[in-house]
Amino acid sequence: MQKEVFLQITDAYRQRFPALAFGVGTIQSCTYFEKGESFKLYKRELLRKMRRRANLAQLEARINLYDQFFKEWGYPCPLSGHFKRAVGMGFPIVNLYIDAHIIAEMCHGILMAIQDLDRFQGEWRLDLAQEGETFQAVSGKMIRCKEDEIVLRDGEGMVCSLFQGPDFKTRVEPASKNIVVYVFMAPGIEDERVSNGLQLALEILEKFGNGKDPWWRIFKP
């Protein structure tokens, strides 16, 4: 059975970012692994397509939109570095979950997070932070937010900042089975790119992680 996410977009977000939609996808009963020969070959084919000259130009343009958005808020954007490494050295080999979301990001020029769906509590809210709000990052360190930066909350608090990444509570681990991926947008990013990125990540988790019942949706302010 598909697991849908019910997201509330706050009035504060709608007023500040009326053009920035938010994409979410879920998939159930995935099996974690670190390396697989068939997955390696699949990634090699995706990398070959990504490296085509026409594709590279489009991907760079989208990543530049994110980079500009991050700079306006005084944060470094991780996508540029990831993209340069992918083009020069190939996709990472970490584990199914990390690889799937990096591949989806790089193949579509979007900013995606992947987290353990079962660790979210209550209703989701796309919101703006208040000055000085904090949460524990996936690295374990405490993150301090600026006023009005874009954040995602569940019923217990902040679970991700667009500019500073996801939290520790909802991190994916080898034992994670039910997975959520979601995409924050930057000004100029088209909904189609978000849809395609979500579908690619879910396809990977379904095909190689034996995931079941994929679901995705784009939420508009």
For residues 97-115, b (16+ Cβ closer than 10 Å) or e, as one string?
Answer: bebbbbbbbbbbbbbbbbb
Please report the pLDDT score of residue 106 as a whole number: 97
SS3 211: coil
What CATH number was assigned to the domain covering residues 7-219? 3.50.40.10
Write down the domain spans for the chain.
7-219
Residue range 128-139, pLDDT digits in tens: 999 999 999 999
108-154 pLDDT tens trace: 999 999 999 999 999 999 999 999 999 999 999 999 999 999 999 99
Report pLDDT for 1. 65
CA 155, chain centre distance (Å): 20
pLDDT band for position 172 (50/70/90)? Answer: very high
Coil, strand or helix at 180? strand
Cβ–Cβ < 8 Å for 62, 110: yes
User: 3-class DSSP state for residue 65?
Assistant: helix
Residue 176 phi, psi (nearest 5)? -65, 135
pLDDT at position 92 is 85
**Alpha-carbon gap, residue 147 to 11, rounded angstroms:** 15
**Residue in 164, 165, 44 with CA at minimum distance from that of residue 103:** 44
Looking at every residue in the chain, the average pLDDT score rounds to: 96
Burial of 54 (0-12, 13-18, 19+ CB in 10 A): exposed
